[in-house]
């Protein structure tokens, strides 16, 4: 049995623009690590963000939340 030659070529990786980041407002490409949110932007599209931007915002909010708890603990 002889092996048949492939009649198709493997497609090249095409970089497409997904949208703007929710946090840094830079362009998000399909080759980047990104997340998509359920909320919609002004165009009716789902909001997207770089994973690293979302992670930074999460930890920033977590630190702020802990600081506010410490203030309430001291007062009350």
- The pLDDT value recorded for residue 58 is 92
Which pTM does this prediction carry? 0.67
Residue 73 dihedral angles phi and psi, to the nearest 5°: -65, -35
6, pLDDT greater than 90: no
10, pLDDT greater than 90: no
- The pLDDT value recorded for residue 71 is 58
34, 51 contact by CB (below 8 A): yes
Per residue in 15-74, pLDDT tens?
999 999 999 999 999 999 999 998 887 778 889 999 999 999 999 999 888 777 765 555
Length of the chain (residues): 76
Collapse the DSSP code of 19 into the 3-class scheme (helix H, G, I; strand E, B; otherwise coil) and give the result.
Answer: strand
Q: Is 7 exposed, middle or buried (0-12, 13-18, 19+ CB in 10 A)?
A: exposed
């Amino acid at each position: 049995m002889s092996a048949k030659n492939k009649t198709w070529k493997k497609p090249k990786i095409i970089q497409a623009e997904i949208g703007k980041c929710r946090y840094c407002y830079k362009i998000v490409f399909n080759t980047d690590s990104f997340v998509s949110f359920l909320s919609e932007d002004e165009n009716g599209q789902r909001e997207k963000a770089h994973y690293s931007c979302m992670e930074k915002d999460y930890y920033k909010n977590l630190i702020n939340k802990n600081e506010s708890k410490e203030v309430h603990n001291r007062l009350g």
